[in-house]
Structure 1
Amino acid sequence: MKIKFNLFYILFVAIAAFTSCNSINQISSHENDIAVSPRVTENFGNDWQFQRLTGSALEGSNWEIVNIPHTVRIEPLVVNDQWQGTSVYRKSFPVELLGDKKWFFHFEGVMQEARVSVNDSLVTTHKGGYLPFTVDATPFLKEGQENIIEVEVINLDDTTIPPGKTLDMLDFNLYGGIYRNVHLIKTNPVYITDAVHADEVNGGGILVHFDKANEQYATGFVQTHIKNESDVRQLVSVRLTFSDRTGEKFRFFSRDVFIAAGDDVSVTEEVVIENPFLWSTYNPDLYNLNVEIISDGLVIDSRQLRTGIRDIRLTEDAFYLNGEKFFVNGTNRHQEYPYVGYAISDEAQYRDAYKIKQAGFDFVRLSHYPHATAFLEACDELGLLVMNAIPGWQYYEEGEFVENAIQDIKDMVRRDRNHPSVVFWENSLNESEMTEEFMIRANKVLKAELPYDDTYSAGWIDHFSYDLFIPARQHAKPPQYWNDYDEEGMPILIAEYGDWEYYAQNAGFNQTAYSDLKEEERSSRQLRSAGEIGMLQQALNYQEAFNSNLRGEQTIGHSNWLMFDYNRGYANDLEASGIADIFRIPKFAFYFYKSQKAPYTDEFSVPMVFIANYWTPKSTTNVKVFSNTEEVALYLNGELVERKKPEINQISEELPFPPFEFDLESFQAGELRAVGYINGEEVASYKVRTPGKPSQLDLAMDHSGRSLSEETPDVVFVYAIIRDEKGTVVPNAKNLIEFSLTEGAENAELIGGEAVNAEAGIATVLLRTESHTERIVITASSEELGETEIIIEP
């Protein structure tokens, strides 16, 4: 028997008071409730035994000891023969006294089929590599001895598991392993469920939703799903505590609820927050929510989460955030790192989100699958809107594949529904020939899970069942693309632009001007090693497409393709249309996008100028400067070249901040300096120098808002930068750089080769640490450039 309780506050907006016994900030007798061994959540990622299978047998008797996150094999930089097969993870753990405790193992992501056994008993089989699952190990545990959990991980082509397409035809890679966190969770027999594990429509776990939100008040509810696996009927109540950034607390209490033995209930408590801090991209305020289950005056379970209060609204031609019209400017992201594939830390997830925000974006589309919870938490914290997406790419098959795709919708929503950053749900199989029946069913499932006015579905086909149409720019014809789209009531977000239409050379207003370029120079797919011509072309392509997209009357936003370079299952090269390379080093286009963010709108948006030129004898003397200022002055060796306003033409007239162009008569070695002005005052400057010969090395580590994790595994980029005698990066340097760990090797390793050739003046390796409790010293050396080191203190 399922029972659902709706407990109402009598709310008067004018006086914002409660007439029931429940009240905001009211301290009651519940305040002195005693905690009794509530929930314990432990990282369960350390000291797993690991081995790959050869055929149907283990490779040998020697198990490798690994920590989670883990990838089944370290891959080369360009992945054209990704490992596929079956591997086994095994771990022993003690169970001294089980008592009446529940033991759960929570897996955030295993690629892509997992068969979990406890003490040789198969507990569950989970299909799908991008969403979590939970194992109830309690019935299989043995008290007073070591227990063993084993996970058989199958990462083979399987057309029943979305995205479904075989690896040799797929546009991204499916890196095997237990590549996201694993947690051991212990609870009392009466506990708050996990939303995905509970498998309840519009239920399970904790569900937070605000129906109305403005600066005066926010009204909504918190629904808590409680299960009673004890032998007796239980009388429980729920206590909710919202805490804002100032420390102010808003408390709500439910009435007592009986739960029969073996039964479960959902308790819905209505809440009101006075004068709320609203979550936005420029001020991403979050609330800590503590949910406690109380029985006989004791806290028997509790869970904590962070959420935000915001109001979103989608109309036929605009998106509104907290009542203000908001143009959604964003990018796409694949979650891949070089060498380790998907096996990256929570801190690395945050660093990616940080870089997206640094680039001037306020939105990210998750391509083409749900990304890690840690990435969404970073988006919540940093102020990035998110389009969540189920796994899919150019594949559709009736039967088990469809059923698994529908389950992906449910699991994605149940995992991510409390994130204020998630505003659109792409319950659409990207670029796949979905049937009308599937699209209608997918949207019914979404609306059943989230039956609220601000639940917005997104599909790449303009079907009536979707709330938002998300075509790629190349899905329409040039030169108008989607600007003349006139489907009544259907808003558009250009989900991808700037890559394929130029790669295929079927687009753009300036194609005739590109006729003297080599084929590879017309493309937006430019490695940093392509040099100025390639990176200027990429930036120009993005500029032209960005400007064109702004002409669409029903276009509420767009996301470029894409943020970071990545590998593809079918390709023998990197897909290089990222505005930063696979090592997260920016290209010129990164600064074009950064310049399109108005200064002073958030902590990431400051007045900026960037000279898209290395100023070498081979450089163009038509110097392009990206800036979000009103005027820019360019100086050559201290002499003013010109002070001017931005260049307005057919590929810049719609931009928030068109680039500046300066035509110099000839090249003169030395220094170019650009100065940006707002209201006549100097607010930003940037300079480049003609590079000399390589003469020195400089080592740097990429923090991007997060230091190395002290307790859990982490991965971070380390850059050896080649400079001339004046400190200028030498952009054509390809020197061979040797890396070594001279301290800390017992708890860290360098991945990517001991000797690495620099690309465009920078050689990169990946540092993986198991924990960062000891000092780490990394040395880089070159026969021509000598030696340098970086010291990383814990």
Structure 2
Amino acid sequence: MKQRVLSYLIALLLFPLHEVQAAYQPEFSTAGFYELKNSGREVHSMNPAWRLHKGAASGAETPGFNDRNWRVVSLPDGIEYVPTEASGCINYQGEVWYRKHFTPAKALKGKKLFLHFEAIMGKSKVFVNGNLLAEHFGGYLPVVVDVTDALNWGTDNVIAVWADNSNDPNYPPGKAQDVLDYTYFGGIYRDCWLIAHNPIFITDPNFENETAGGGLFVAYDKVSDTSAEVLLKTHVRNDSKENFTGVVEYELQQPNGKQVAFLNDKIQVRSGKTTTSKDKITLKSPLLWSPETPTLYNLIVRIRNNQGNIVDGYRRRIGIRSVEFKGKDGFWLNGKPYSTPLIGANRHQDFAVVGNAVANSIHWRDAKKLRDAGMKIIRNAHCPQ
């Protein structure tokens, strides 16, 4: 919470107050999707009230470990505040422990439950009630943990996360910090969510062991001003005790809410198995995405059973476009040569004082400032932001 307040205060210093209040309010996704009401899927923030310890702590993964003297922090957390001119080699590198106590709501019992850490810097291990449930290498992609069978109901539960941002050549950036041109921060520096849904659900690509698959995959083909094909692939898992027959339903809406496409694909999923739904939407006169007109459609995906009841679902925003580099003919966007120079910038995912633990609003603010300066390409500094 302190970091979010600090980020907002910094924003106030950079913008006149009336501009901050009157600014467009951006919409931020949760764990890569937008929650859809009455879909059977819920998203709960797990950001508040973690306890942090710098250094090793023997037994810190066990529920009965005494963490009362640890500092209380809220996510995103970058372990420490750093000077505004920090350029590397002065921030903390090494082991840290995070612990969170919580009692799950009774209404969640019987649901599939996943912890979704949007990122934990460096190496990490996630324990729930003393059980090691996940080990992850690399600080830029989500760590997703199935906690369904690890929770205790009606009592205190403990999530313990061990993380280490020490130099390690085995994953990006792969170099020692003293030879990098930026600070290699640490901690659980992005949001954490508890995702709850029914046992029949759209999978998470960061959890499933699916090559070039898992979750909802969207691609585009034959893109032009007159038409475009939206290619859809949805990976569905059935963790219930019964076989499932139903449909995957796709609804495409323009930004104003107007429905422009609706279709469904029949699926059958045996108990304990997965299946993949594949379909295609052909749009006439599509509203194509470009830097000048960055139109985003809403794609709503639902799973319905044979009785027509919604089992799972969520919303994604998609931009319909094609991107090609044609050698001496240059860069083509949406089937046409792009007529203006490609002007861009490099951007690291950090901010003064808070380091990598940057609020979503500051990420958005940086993107807007770069776009207002006329830049249309952002190089994301070797790592997914």
Task: Determine whether 1:260 maps to 2:270.
Answer: yes
Task: Determine whether 1:46 maps to 2:55.
Answer: no
1:344 CA drift (Å): 0.3
Q: Is the 8 A contact 1:36 1:298 kept in 2?
A: no
Task: Determine whether 1:63 maps to 2:70.
Answer: yes
Deviations 1:336-387 (A, max 9, x none): 212211010111000110111121111111112111xxxxxxxxxxxxxxxx
Question: Who is 1:81 aligned against?
Answer: 90
1:192 CA drift (Å): 0.3
Question: Who is 2:11 aligned against?
Answer: none
Q: How does 1:147-296 map to 2 (within 5 A)?
A: 147-295=157-305, 296=307
Task: Give the Cα separation in 2 of the matches to 1:243 and 1:343.
Answer: 34
Question: Who is 2:358 aligned against?
Answer: 344
Task: Give the Cα separation in 2 of the matches to 1:143 and 1:161.
Answer: 37
Choose which of 348, 370, 389 in structure 1 pairs with 2:384: 370
In structure 2, the CA distance between the partners of 1:54 and 1:194, relative to structure 1 (3 Å rule), is closer
In structure 2, the CA distance between the partners of 1:323 and 1:188, relative to structure 1 (3 Å rule), is same
1:77 CA drift (Å): 2.8
Aligned residue identity for 2:247 = S
Q: How does 1:98-177 map to 2 (within 5 A)?
A: 98-177=108-187
Deviations 1:23-50 (A, max 9, x none): xxxxxxxxxxxx8661001221111122
Task: Give the Cα separation in 1 of the matches to 2:174 and 2:375.
Answer: 31
Question: Who is 1:321 aligned against?
Answer: 333
Q: How does 1:643-654 map to 2 (within 5 A)?
A: none
Q: How does 1:693-732 map to 2 (within 5 A)?
A: none
Matched residue SS, 1:122: strand
Deviations 1:254-285 (A, max 9, x none): 34221000000110011112221110010101
Aligned residue identity for 1:75 = V
Q: Is the 8 A contact 2:265 2:277 kept in 1?
A: no
1:252 CA drift (Å): 2.8
Q: Is the 8 A contact 1:287 1:307 kept in 2?
A: yes
Matched residue SS, 1:142: coil
Task: Give the Cα separation in 2 of the matches to 1:233 and 1:65.
Answer: 45
1:131 CA drift (Å): 1.1
Deviations 1:48-70 (A, max 9, x none): 12221257698985122211111
1:245 CA drift (Å): 2.2
Aligned residue identity for 1:64 = R
Matched residue SS, 1:163: coil
Aligned residue identity for 1:336 = D
Deviations 1:390-440 (A, max 9, x none): xxxxxxxxxxxxxxxxxxxxxxxxxxxxxxxxxxxxxxxxxxxxxxxxxxx
Question: Who is 1:92 aligned against?
Answer: 101
Corresponding pairs, count: 337
Deviations 1:110-158 (A, max 9, x none): 1111110001111011110111121101121112222111111112122
Q: How does 1:16-27 map to 2 (within 5 A)?
A: none
Q: How does 1:453-532 map to 2 (within 5 A)?
A: none
Aligned residue identity for 2:337 = K
1:100 CA drift (Å): 2.5
Task: Determine whether 1:309 maps to 2:320.
Answer: yes
Task: Give the Cα separation in 2 of the matches to 1:219 and 1:159.
Answer: 42
Task: Give the Cα separation in 1 of the matches to 2:47 and 2:155.
Answer: 20
Question: Who is 1:298 aligned against?
Answer: 309
1:299 CA drift (Å): 0.4
Task: Give the Cα separation in 2 of the matches to 1:55 and 1:123.
Answer: 19
Task: Determine whether 1:334 maps to 2:381.
Answer: no
1:73 CA drift (Å): 1.1
Task: Determine whether 1:358 maps to 2:365.
Answer: no
Task: Give the Cα separation in 2 of the matches to 1:36 and 1:57.
Answer: 41
Matched residue SS, 2:367: helix
1:219 CA drift (Å): 1.3
Q: Is the 8 A contact 2:102 2:157 kept in 1?
A: yes
Task: Give the Cα separation in 2 of the matches to 1:55 and 1:301.
Answer: 40
Could you list the structure 1 runs, at least 4 aligned residues long, displaced by more than 3 angstroms after superposition.
54-61, 96-99
Aligned residue identity for 1:88 = W
In structure 2, the CA distance between the partners of 1:210 and 1:180, relative to structure 1 (3 Å rule), is same
Task: Give the Cα separation in 2 of the matches to 1:113 and 1:122.
Answer: 14
Aligned residue identity for 1:78 = E
Matched residue SS, 1:302: strand
Q: How does 1:622-771 map to 2 (within 5 A)?
A: none
In structure 2, the CA distance between the partners of 1:60 and 1:90, relative to structure 1 (3 Å rule), is closer
Larger radius of gyration: 1
1:248 CA drift (Å): 1.6
In structure 2, the CA distance between the partners of 1:102 and 1:169, relative to structure 1 (3 Å rule), is same
Aligned residue identity for 2:95 = T
TM-score (norm 2): 0.83
RMSD of aligned residue pairs (Cα, Å):
1.9
Q: Is the 8 A contact 2:112 2:198 kept in 1?
A: yes
Identity percentage over the alignment?
34
Task: Give the Cα separation in 2 of the matches to 1:55 and 1:78.
Answer: 31
Q: Is the 8 A contact 1:212 1:220 kept in 2?
A: no
Task: Give the Cα separation in 2 of the matches to 1:245 and 1:96.
Answer: 35
Gaps of 5+ in 1: 1-34, 372-794
Task: Give the Cα separation in 1 of the matches to 2:325 and 2:39.
Answer: 45
In structure 2, the CA distance between the partners of 1:168 and 1:158, relative to structure 1 (3 Å rule), is same
TM-score (norm 1): 0.41
1:161 CA drift (Å): 2.2
Matched residue SS, 1:222: strand
Task: Give the Cα separation in 1 of the matches to 2:165 and 2:59.
Answer: 16
Higher RCO (Cα < 8 Å, 6 or more apart): 2
1:89 CA drift (Å): 1.1
Task: Give the Cα separation in 2 of the matches to 1:194 and 1:86.
Answer: 28
Matched residue SS, 2:369: helix
1:308 CA drift (Å): 0.8
Task: Give the Cα separation in 1 of the matches to 2:67 and 2:48.
Answer: 22
Aligned residue identity for 1:52 = K
Matched residue SS, 1:110: coil
In structure 2, the CA distance between the partners of 1:335 and 1:233, relative to structure 1 (3 Å rule), is same
